[in-house]
Amino acid sequence: MDTVSYPNKNVIEFINDSVIPLRVRYDTRPLATDFSITWTPTLVILDTDGKEHHRTVGFLSPEELIPSLLLGIAKVHFDLNAFKDALSGLEKILSDFSKSSSAPEAIYLKGVCLYKDTKNPKGLKEAYEQLQARYPESEWTKRAYPYRLL
């Protein structure tokens, strides 16, 4: 990723504006051990308390890296019950990176956020319908399958 993704202008801007990056070699102790880093690149999204919320392992192109980071940030907000902030990040993935591999999970998580925020199951069913229409073979479509009954 050093030669392709990290030097990309959009990636540089996103990282500078959105995260606090820390580069740790896979053999750096204790961090590599604490976070089970055994292969590079491994990207771990943490909250301000150092709790992990999202992880990717392996190369990501610039077009995949930014939505993956957005998804990780949205998961931090989701796990902290900041659903409106999570929805904002998920909407950005779906509007700006709809062809990325993060999009199906973003649709799923959007439906769950809407439900948790409003207690209305409509968002869950809509998530399943969108997943079924756009990504019928996705693992996220399979996970949302029960929502078709709502």
Q: Which domains does the chain have, with CATH numbers?
A: 9-149 (1.25.40.10)
Neighbours of 18 (CB within 10 A): 14
- pTM of the prediction? 0.93
Supply the pLDDT for residue 2.
86
Alpha-carbon span 127 to 104, nearest angstrom: 9
Whether pLDDT at 113 is above 90: yes
Phi, psi (5° rounding) for residue 102?
A: -80, -20
Question: Residue range 67-82: average pLDDT?
Answer: 98
